[in-house]
Amino acid sequence: MTKTHSSPALPLPALPPLDSLKVAVIAARAGSFTAAAESLNLTHGAVSRRIRAVENWLGTPLFERAGRGVSLTPEGLRLVRTAEQAIDAIAACAEQWRPHRGMQTVRLSVVPSFARLWLLPRIRRLQGEPQDLRIDLSVGHAPVDVAGGEADLALRYGRGSWPGLRSQLLMRERLQPVAAPEVANALGARVKPEALLRHPLIHDSDATQWRLWLAGAGLRFRPRSIDRRFEDYDLVLGAARAGLGIALARLPLAQPWLDDGSLVAVSSRAVDNPLAHFLVLRPDEDRAEVLRLQARLSAWRTDAG
Other beta carbons within 10 Å of 167:
17
pLDDT on residue 4: 47
Q: Does residue 217 contact residue 191 with C-beta atoms inside 8 Å?
A: no
CA-closest candidate to residue 193, choices 233, 253, 248:
248
pLDDT tens string, the chain, 305 residues long: the values are: 444 455 566 677 788 888 888 888 898 888 888 888 888 888 888 888 999 998 898 899 989 877 778 888 988 888 888 888 888 778 766 655 555 556 799 999 999 999 999 999 999 999 998 999 999 999 999 989 999 999 999 999 999 999 999 999 999 999 999 999 999 999 988 889 999 999 999 999 889 999 999 999 999 999 899 999 999 999 999 999 999 999 999 999 999 999 999 999 999 999 999 999 999 999 999 999 999 999 999 998 754 43
Which domains does the chain possess? 18-95 (1.10.10.10), 104-172+276-298 (3.40.190.10), 174-272 (3.40.190.10)
pTM given for the model: 0.66
pLDDT on residue 39: 84
Instruction: Tell me the helix, strand and coil percentages in the chain, rounded to 5.
Output: 40, 20, 40
Our measurement of the distance from residue 215's CA atom to the centroid of its chain's CA atoms, rounded to an integer in Å, reads 38
Backbone φ and ψ for 10, nearest 5 degrees, come out as -75, 130
Share of the chain above pLDDT 70, in %: 92
CA 92 → CA 96, 102, 140, distances in Å? 7, 19, 27
Residue 218 identity (one-letter amino acid): G
pLDDT on residue 192: 92
pLDDT on residue 38: 86
Which H/E stretch holds residue 289? helix 288-298
pLDDT tens column, 75-118? 888 888 888 888 877 876 665 555 555 679 999 999 999 999 99
Residue 246 identity (one-letter amino acid): I
pLDDT on residue 246: 98
Which H/E stretch holds residue 250? strand 246-251
Q: Does residue 170 contact residue 110 with C-beta atoms inside 8 Å?
A: no
pLDDT on residue 120: 95
pLDDT on residue 65: 79
CA quadruple 180, 185, 187, 192: dihedral, nearest 10: 90
Q: Does residue 202 contact residue 247 with C-beta atoms inside 8 Å?
A: yes
Residues in contact with 287: Cβ distance below 8 Å, sequence separation at least 6, in sequence order: 152
